[in-house]
Amino acid sequence: MPTYSWHAIPKDVVPNSSLPAGMSRQSIVGERSMLCMHEAFPNLKCKPHQHDAEQFSIMLQGRMRFVVGSETFVLGPGEIAHIPSGVEHSIESLDEYVLVLDVFAPLRPDILARLKEIGA
C-alpha cells in the first residue's frame, strides 16, 4: 500500500501551464482520482480555466473567492466547493495565505505531464 506524507512530497513552485504564479502544488496520483494540495499567496487572482475532471476544493486555511459560471462564493476553512466536470472557474485568494486540498477525478493530464516534466 502506498503511503505518503505531505512534508515529503515535492512542492512545485514554478509557474507552468497547469500552475499559476504565486501558487504551489503537491500531488498524489491514484488510479481514478488525484489529490493536489495547493497554497496561494494572499490577494492572488487566477484566470478562468476548465478541465474535464470534476473538482472538490476542500478549504483548510484562509479564504478564497470562487467564480463558477455566473456564481460567486467566498469559502473558508471547513467549507468545500464542488466544481463539476468541464465548468469554467476562476479563484482568488483574499487577504490571507490560502491552503486548499483539491481532489480531481479523473486524473488531470496537464498535471500528470507536469509531474513527468519535473520527475516527480
Where on the chain is the footprint of its own copies (CB under 8 A)?
1-7, 28, 30-33, 35, 54, 56, 58, 66, 68-69, 71, 73, 75, 78-85, 87, 89, 101, 103, 105-106
Length of the chain: 120
| Residue 117 to residue 105: CA distance in whole angstroms | 21
Tally of CB atoms within 10 A around 19: 19
Closest approach, Cβ 83 to its own copies, in A, equals 6
Measured distance between the N- and C-terminal CA atoms of the chain, rounded to whole angstroms? 19
Q: Which lies closer to its own copies via its Cβ, residue 19 or residue 59?
A: 59
Contact 24, 15 (CB under 8 A): no
Radius of gyration of the chain (CA): 14
Q: Which lies closer to its own copies via its Cβ, residue 45 or residue 82?
A: 82
Closest approach, Cβ 58 to its own copies, in A, equals 7
Q: Which lies closer to its own copies via its Cβ, residue 18 or residue 27?
A: 27
